[in-house]
Structure 1
Amino acid sequence: MSTTTTITETVQSNLNLHGFGRMRMDGTDRHFGDFRDELTRNGYAVVKGAIPRERALQYADRMYSWLENFKLGFDRNDPSTVHKDKLPVINEKGMCLHYGLAHEDFVWSVRSEPGVIGAFEKIYDDEDLIVSFDAVNFQFPSRTDIAPNKPWPHQDQDPEKHGFRCMQGLVNILPNGPEDGGLIVCKGAHLLSEQFHREMAGEERIPAWTNEWFGFTERGMKWLEDHGCEWEKVCAEPGDLILWDSRAPHYNVSPKNSQARFAIYTCFMPVADATQEDLQRKKDAFDRRVGTTHWPNAKHSGSNVAKRDGVDDLHNREVPVMEPVLSERAFKLTGIPYLKA
């Protein structure tokens, strides 16, 4: 592939992707007639109504209640109470990573929604899936009490490992229009990922805590622009599932108007792609009620110890407020039933 190859030319080539290429989703030789066509072509897609709107708004109510139940002074009806001193620790990207939140009952209920699981079953053509214990996003507009959320364009994939490897996702909980913050994706750039990393191999990398993260420098952003890649804000309604290929450059932005943004990150993969060691790590994370990254095979697990102003938050908790009650289907998503004795 020449250095002048653009997205349009790449879509016309046979990319021979693997992973969700089990279904030959290579952008050229098969049409599905559903969200998978857009996902293959653009690197992202919105699955409309994965959760019924009314039920999604009920999840929003539970998320607001979870914030209020810290009893730090946050009141969903009073915008002046949106302040770091009145909320659990939430970073400038909107991520809440601690407090057992990854295993709250409402979070597991979202992961267990048939429309959410079903989308990933279609992608992988497989019902034996495991799910990430990922973060929850709470973003409020007009915040001046925390650092600004600056653009952080990145891929969540090791640049030395090519081809499709992970499908990321989030369930959108509140109305999310053009000015309401949320996900920004570089349309079609996943198709040029291998070429990008080959041609930019000599560039110094932005430091990262894991190889499964690659940040785009100004020079990298110029390369994407020169190759016809455009950044798009993804809009969604309550209950919509947003999916994106981990090779797709992306980041998020904060709301600009009055509408908050709530989202629950959900990522599934076939259990066949996880080792027994992976599943043992996953069981440990579940037993300790800690989160993972978006990787469902628990490549990394987190902690429930949030830091507030450099010291352990006095309001830390090791277990959820509401322990999850898992159905048989949901329990399989933990990976535990697939462990061999």
Structure 2
Amino acid sequence: MATTQTELETEPRLTLKLRSDNEPKPEWLETLEQEGWVVVKGVLSSEKAKTYEDAAYAFLESFGMGFDRNDKTTWVPEQMPFFFKGGLFHRYGTGHEQFLWDIKQEPAVVDKFAKVWGTEKLVSSFDGCNISLPIAGRDPNDFAFKPWPHVDQSPLVTGLHCVQGIMNLCPNGPEDGGLMLLKGSKALYAQLWEAFDDVKPPGGWNKGDRHDHTPEQMQWLIDNGCEYHKVCAEPGDLILWDSRVVHYGATPASDNPRIASYVCYKPACLVTEDIAQKRRKAWEEKVQTSHDPITFRTNPRQAPEDHPTYDHPKVKDLQAPVLTDLGKKLAGLESW
């Protein structure tokens, strides 16, 4: 999968910290700081979450490939647009679909990140969604079920760099797929790279915001007290985690769907002119980005060449999401 990385080799490497210690912190923010992750309950109502869930199904049906939300026999890859692993949708400019922008510009969602960073002046990522559906007869050894532990942060950056988010839209229990994280891994973030310094790649650790952990690195973390934890949440809950936490998206092992949108915001003051131009280009071309609003990768609108939707009309029909005044500022179309 071809992606384009907005690297930091020509930009200052960012080291951020949470809001001032002198300001009162809600309990969930204390938990985020200490544990590296938290579930913020009831950020959106269950009714509003259901509306967004329905919009996600409508998105799948809009491709005209035979998918029908009411007929589970159509819940198969052959009748769905292209997705990665269990259900990551990052082609077609999915992150610019109206329902995903409606979530991005939800004041209650934005407010939580404003509390994280201590400012209301934020910019949003152009990230997409996860629609992981239980597929009948799928082999338990299918690639989709294989863990892919990683962090979305360079090993060269050991301080707080980003807080990622998932707006959960469906009931999400232990077997329903969703965020699987390694408890305790944030505290060992810097130590891990030191422990494996003698076997780092010839060119050094990756400068971009990504590291896929080797079996040896995972075993070291487990030997040092870390353990996997499946995050459970209800519709309307917001899951937040520090990018130093090892994690991956688990595919449903139950008969229940997993539907969630990815949300991430950072202070607008971090947007340089160069970053602003790259964000503007991504907006105009309606391409989806990775999680970070500042140091992002872009994904092509087209599906892989061997997928039936490679030349689908939706590839060329650019979305035109309607934004609120808040949404325009989050997108970078208007100044704060």
Q: TM-score range by the shorter chain?
A: 0.7 to 0.9
Q: RMSD of the TM alignment (CA)?
A: 2.5
TM-score by length of 1: 0.87
Aligned pairs for 1:1-80 within 5 A: 19-24=16-21, 32-80=25-73
Give me the identity figure in percent: 37
Letter in 2 for 1:57: K
2:154 to 158, 161, 177: 158
2:187 to 191, 194, 197: 191
Equivalent residues of 2:75, 2:135 under 8 A apart? no
TM-score by length of 2: 0.88
Q: Specify the alignment match of 1:7 in structure 2.
A: none
Q: Specify the alignment match of 1:12 in structure 2.
A: none
Equivalent residues of 1:158, 1:212 under 8 A apart? yes
2:244 to 238, 243, 247: 247
Note the alpha carbon deviations across 1:95-136, whole angstroms, 9 max, x for none: 111223111111100011111101000000001100100121
Note the alpha carbon deviations across 1:294-322, whole angstroms, 9 max, x for none: 01025322221112526761325246676
Q: Does 1:136 align with 2:129?
A: yes
1:227 to 211, 216, 224: 224
Q: Does 1:328 align with 2:325?
A: yes
Letter in 1 for 2:146: K
Q: Specify the alignment match of 2:174 in structure 1.
A: 178
SS at match of 2:190: helix
Q: How far apart, CA to CA, are the structure 1 residues paired with 2:120 and 2:99?
A: 22
Note the alpha carbon deviations across 1:185-213, whole angstroms, 9 max, x for none: 11131122111111211234599997311
Q: How far apart, CA to CA, are the structure 1 residues paired with 2:88 and 2:207?
A: 18
1:116 to 109, 121, 125: 109
Equivalent residues of 2:132, 2:258 under 8 A apart? yes
Q: Specify the alignment match of 1:264 in structure 2.
A: 261
Q: How far apart, CA to CA, are the structure 1 residues paired with 2:307 and 2:201?
A: 28
Q: Does 1:296 align with 2:293?
A: yes
Q: Does 1:99 align with 2:115?
A: no
Q: How far apart, CA to CA, are the structure 2 residues paired with 1:210 and 1:320?
A: 34
Q: How far apart, CA to CA, are the structure 1 residues paired with 2:262 and 2:214?
A: 25
Equivalent residues of 1:205, 1:215 under 8 A apart? no
SS at match of 1:148: helix
After TM superposition, give the deviation of residue 181 of structure 1 in Å: 0.4
Equivalent residues of 1:67, 1:87 under 8 A apart? yes
Note the alpha carbon deviations across 1:132-176, whole angstroms, 9 max, x for none: 001211101135397433101011100011100011111111110
The gaps in structure 1 that reach 5 residues or longer are: 1-16
Equivalent residues of 1:184, 1:231 under 8 A apart? yes
* Structure 1 residues 232 and 320, CA gap change in structure 2 (3 angstroms): farther
